[in-house]
């Protein structure tokens, strides 16, 4: 499968189709296909054959495969080998990394709204702040401005579910996913240091883990 380390910058609400969040179950079902050298072709076959997804509707399978394909192309070399042996909680955080890379709106939410909330005094998920961010983006991008209220509501619902699945949210309270230092080493190896900050690590923690990684080489 062709991969890229260039984050997507095209705004779209297509990730809301099917109301999926991190797609943990679906990606785990497809994992043997994703690890194959012919992943692209195997994913196309899954749309018609339904060997592992077990989704009755072909159109729904096509939508699901389209969403997953858009995300997994941001997996760095060795990503799926690490993922395959990782704990479930580590897997969901890795899938959150793919979502941030492939869905620019979620990247903006996370770095412009969620991280400031974590660094502030409230540390809560305040829906109003995300609505404000959507309004701001609507002033800049016509495609965002045209989204219906129902689409905006679904976007916030799915992003909130992603935060919960990835370990960032307990009810409406923001929390830090607790990981071993070594969890972050592959992201540093593949020049993705921004993800450490995305995981609510302080600058001191980022520097400490980066130094540990450098000494491990």
Q: Is 126 part of a structural domain of the chain?
A: no
Question: Using CA atoms, how far apart are residues 21 and 108, in angstroms rounded to an integer?
Answer: 17
Q: Which residues contact 103 (CB under 8 A, 6 or more apart)?
A: 8, 12, 15, 71
Q: Do residues 34 and 80 make contact, with C-beta atoms less than 8 angstroms apart?
A: yes
pLDDT in tens, 24-79: 999 999 999 999 999 999 999 999 999 999 999 999 999 999 999 999 999 999 99
Q: Which residues contact 150 (CB under 8 A, 6 or more apart)?
A: none
Q: Is 38 part of a structural domain of the chain?
A: yes
Q: Is 141 part of a structural domain of the chain?
A: no
Which of 84, 112, 139 lies at the terminal end of a domain, its last residue? 84
**Total domains present in the chain:** 2
Which of 64, 84, 104 lies at the terminal end of a domain, its last residue? 84
Best CA proximity match to 190, nearest among 78, 90, 106? 78
* Residues of the domain holding 209: 181-216
Question: Using CA atoms, how far apart are residues 47 and 59, in angstroms rounded to an integer?
Answer: 8
Percentage of the chain lying above the pLDDT 70 cut? 96
Q: Is 18 part of a structural domain of the chain?
A: yes
Is the pTM higher than 0.75? The answer reads yes
Rounded to 10°, the helix 88-102/58-72 angle is: 90
Q: Which residue has the tokens 């890379």?
A: 101
Which of 34, 52, 84 lies at the terminal end of a domain, its last residue? 84
């Amino acid at each position: 499968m062709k991969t890229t380390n260039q984050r997507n910058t095209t705004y779209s609400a297509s990730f809301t189709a099917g109301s999926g969040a991190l797609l943990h179950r679906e990606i785990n079902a497809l994992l043997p296909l994703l690890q194959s050298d012919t992943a692209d072709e195997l994913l196309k076959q899954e749309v018609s054959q339904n060997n592992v997804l077990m989704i009755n509707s072909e159109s729904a399978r096509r939508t699901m495969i389209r969403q997953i394909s858009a995300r997994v192309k941001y997996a760095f070399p060795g990503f799926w080998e690490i993922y395959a042996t990782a704990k479930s909680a580590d897997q969901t955080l890795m899938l959150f990394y793919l979502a941030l890379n492939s869905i620019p709106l979620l990247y903006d939410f996370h770095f412009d709204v969620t991280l400031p909330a974590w660094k502030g005094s409230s540390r809560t998920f305040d829906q109003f702040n995300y609505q404000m961010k959507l309004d701001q983006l609507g002033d800049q991008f016509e495609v965002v401005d045209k989204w219906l209220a129902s689409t905006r509501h679904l976007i916030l619902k799915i992003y909130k579910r992603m935060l919960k699945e990835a370990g960032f949210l307990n009810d409406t309270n923001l929390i830090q996913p607790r990981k071993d230092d070594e969890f972050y080493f592959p992201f540093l190896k593949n020049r993705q240091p921004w993800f450490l900050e995305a995981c609510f690590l302080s600058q001191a923690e980022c520097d400490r883990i980066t130094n540990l990684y450098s000494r491990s080489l």
